[in-house]
């Protein structure tokens, strides 16, 4: 008879999260916007953050060409006078504030709605979703986002600066560089996991940022292997879903491409324009739908993981597999002796 710690939870949790995300499609639009801050796929978020922190000449993930354009615009703006500068600064600040507010609000809606959906298993209307909003709650979520984005950026950029200062002539510099890069990426990986656990604590339990941080760190320290395994399994699951997205885009592109070629052959500009607009809307709609579903699924997994961690103890699959192998080896040694 298996002990409680050996009961598999990952497959049931993933399947339950898939069903929850599919049945609650009213959350997909909020998930698309919430994904601008964090998709919940720790590895994906880490890769994006590493690109921002470590890419030479990149600022906030922007390419060199975009940065050059911005620099030219700033130069023209500085030459246009004080009124234009103040107007541009106010517009940029307003857009950033509205964008951050929208992302944070959608994160809170997604976290709270999924918590209720997991426990009550019912669809939520627009009034119920809006009813989950409270200004001090999404301000706390915004605070968590900002704190962890800064911490992760400093961790990755600091590790990158140390790597660039290593003397390449030393024989051990290669091994030291690998160890430093691995330690930096692992630290950012752990920070991403704690960020998700803290967001759920702040969003679900309506606690302060400090209290949520304590809960997130405590949950990670109680089950570090489980949290890391969940993050890696989510990466694999989202990779499969991304392949499904790519396959769906190919299925859309084939008939649209044939229709476009036929319209182009008939030299019908109106038909070409209509097919182009229709194809673009179809691709955009399918991509946003899949992005909303995938982000909802990912947040649902983290929500359910916290539920499992609070409800019953269990061990990681790595721990269970290692224990099983060691038990077999000890038994075989005893039989030989």
How is residue 336 written in tokens? 């030989």
How is residue 120 written in tokens? 């009550």
Helix (H) or strand (E) segment spanning residue 120: helix 82-120
| Cβ-contact 217, 316 below 8 angstroms | no
pLDDT attached to residue 3: 43
Q: What pLDDT digit, counting tens, does each position of 18-32 carry? A: 999 998 888 899 999
pLDDT attached to residue 243: 92
How much is the pTM?
0.80
pLDDT attached to residue 307: 83
| Cβ-contact 128, 220 below 8 angstroms | no
pLDDT attached to residue 168: 62
What distance in Å separates the CA atoms of residue 153 and residue 147, rounded to the nearest whole number? 10
- Kindly give the parts of the chain with pLDDT less than 50: 1-5, 59, 61, 319, 321-323, 325-327, 329-330, 333-334
How is residue 260 written in tokens? 């476009």
Axis-axis angle for helices 224-265, 317-336 (nearest 10): 120
Give the burial string for 248-275 (b: 16+ CB within 10 Å, else e): eeeebeeebeebbeebeeeeeeeebeeb
- Which residue do the tokens 């500068």 mark? 85
Kindly report the number of other CB atoms within 10 A of residue 38's CB atom.
25
pLDDT attached to residue 300: 92
Kindly report the number of other CB atoms within 10 A of residue 306's CB atom.
21
- Alpha-carbon Rg for the chain, nearest whole angstrom, is 24
């Amino acid at each position: 008879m298996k002990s409680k710690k050996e009961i598999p939870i990952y497959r049931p949790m993933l399947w339950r999260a898939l069903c929850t995300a599919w049945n609650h499609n009213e959350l997909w639009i909020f998930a698309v916007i919430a994904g601008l801050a964090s998709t919940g796929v720790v590895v994906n978020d880490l890769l994006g953050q590493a690109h921002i922190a470590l890419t030479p000449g990149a600022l906030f993930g922007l390419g060199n060409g975009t940065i050059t354009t911005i620099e030219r615009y700033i130069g023209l703006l500085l030459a246009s006078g004080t009124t234009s500068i103040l107007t541009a600064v106010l517009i940029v600040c307003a857009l950033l504030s509205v964008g951050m507010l929208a992302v944070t609000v959608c994160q809170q809606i997604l976290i709270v709605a999924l918590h209720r959906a997991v426990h009550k298993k019912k669809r939520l209307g627009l009034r119920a979703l809006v009813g989950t909003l409270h200004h001090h709650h999404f301000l706390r979520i915004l605070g968590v986002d900002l704190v962890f984005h800064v911490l992760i950026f400093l961790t990755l950029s600091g590790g990158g600066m140390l790597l660039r200062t290593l003397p390449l002539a030393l024989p051990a510099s290669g091994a030291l560089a690998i160890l430093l890069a691995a330690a930096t990426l692992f630290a950012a990986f752990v920070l991403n996991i704690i960020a998700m656990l803290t967001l759920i604590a702040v969003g679900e339990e309506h606690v302060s940022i400090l209290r949520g941080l304590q809960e997130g760190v405590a949950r990670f320290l109680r089950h570090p292997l489980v949290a890391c395994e969940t993050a890696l399994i989510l990466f694999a699951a989202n990779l499969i879903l991304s392949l499904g997205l790519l396959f769906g885009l190919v299925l859309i592109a084939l008939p649209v491409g044939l229709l476009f070629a036929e319209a182009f052959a008939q030299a019908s500009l109106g038909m070409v324009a209509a097919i182009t607009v229709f194809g673009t809307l179809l691709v955009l709609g399918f991509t946003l739908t899949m992005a909303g579903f995938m982000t909802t699924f990912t947040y649902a997994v983290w929500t359910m993981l916290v539920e499992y961690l609070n409800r019953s103890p269990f061990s990681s699959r790595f721990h269970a597999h290692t224990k099983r192998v060691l038990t077999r080896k000890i038994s075989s040694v005893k039989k030989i002796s």
